[in-house]
Structure 1
Amino acid sequence: MTKSIVDNSPLFELSARISVSATPEEVYSVVSDLPRQGEWSPECQGGTWISGEPATVGAVFRGENLRSESVVAWAPLIRGVWHTEARVVAAEPGRTFRWMMLSHAQEDQESVWGFDMEPAPEGCVLVHHFRMGKATAGIQKIVKDLNEDDRKRFIEDWTEKLVRDLDATLKRIKDVIESQ
């Protein structure tokens, strides 16, 4: 049996960066406020903290997401409103904030989103990153009935979508912070 593209690890490892005219601490206070994600995320509409002290390691966030019909339109994706849960795995004010996606069974998945702040002369550089080691249960479900050529096409199309989303998120965060 041949190895599928979805068996690669990491499956995704992407980042984008932008300069922001604010201190790393000011930027951190915004990006660690996950309920505000609706202000900048192309998919996450916001959500609520469901356990733990908000924005601290171990706290769990339930996000509400919205995906349009046009996003990788040919693939069997969840459309409309759907929910995810994630646990904060790093929370260092002014430095880094990361969260790991949880499965429906509340188990860790190798899917981590985050922000890093790097001091810069005019404020800071904000880095938004995403890494998926092993394919999550959701990715496995999407590609389950696809042949290998379509699996490769999906990974390519999804990578392009993620790149656009990382960039769009950073631009929106910059606008939010610099207009305050």
Structure 2
Amino acid sequence: MVDYERDGVTTFEVRAKTFVAAAPAAVYETVSDLARSGEWSVECRGGTWISGEPSAVGAVFEGKNLRGPEAVAWAPVIRGEWTTRAEVVDAVPGRAFRWVILTGAGDRQESTWSFEIEPADGGSVLVHHYRLGKLTEGLAKIFRSGLDEAGRARFVQEWNAKLQKDVEQTVRRIKVVIEQG
């Protein structure tokens, strides 16, 4: 039995990469502007910087999200619209941009999204990575609300597959947004 609510566990982890025909600085400028994420994200529709200097370490972003009924349809996850708050934890122009999802009280959770950028011949390699360690407060409620051990294992497997498809689609869309200007 896996205890998804303990420190040190990795519940979800996915990554996708693509070549982008643009300099690392241009790629960074695009992906670090979370307000534009609706142009490429599967679920985030954009949002607003609510505190701090936009895209700088310590800045907080409120994202507007939308999830349809098809995403792991049997699972008791949020459907429709919802918001999240995230804090930028790493912002290195041309190299890396990371943010973590916050609790309702504003504390950091082990839910980290990132873009890493490396120079490549003729452009850049963009990597989009997501890692969830200990369950977020929302997922903890789901896991405690009636999923048995088999249901939890099934959810982790199917949600990880959904996340993998999402990050793959996201990097493909970012490539198009940047290359088509």
- The TM-score with structure 1 as length reference comes to 0.96
Question: Displacement, 1:3?
Answer: 4.1
Equivalent residue, structure 1, for 2:132:
132
Structure 2 distance, partners of 1:101, 1:31, is 17
- Please tell me whether the aligned partners of residues 103 and 109 of structure 2 are also in contact (alpha carbons under 8 angstroms): yes
Equivalent residue, structure 2, for 1:149:
150
Equivalent residue, structure 2, for 1:114:
114
Query: Gapped runs of 5+ residues in structure 2?
Result: none
Cα 1:10/1:3, change in 2 over 3 Å: closer
Structure 1 runs of 4+ with >2 Å offset: 2-8
Cα 1:3/1:159, change in 2 over 3 Å: closer
Equivalent residue, structure 2, for 1:170:
171
The CA RMSD measured in Å over matched residues stands at: 1.2
Structure 1 distance, partners of 2:137, 2:4, is 15
- Please tell me whether the aligned partners of residues 21 and 179 of structure 2 are also in contact (alpha carbons under 8 angstroms): yes
Question: Displacement, 1:4?
Answer: 3.7
Question: Displacement, 1:92?
Answer: 0.4
- Please tell me whether the aligned partners of residues 28 and 93 of structure 1 are also in contact (alpha carbons under 8 angstroms): yes
Helix, strand or coil: the match of 1:46? Answer: strand
Query: Gapped runs of 5+ residues in structure 1?
Result: none
Q: Which moved more, 1:37-46 or 1:136-145?
A: 136-145
Structure 2 distance, partners of 1:3, 1:70, is 26
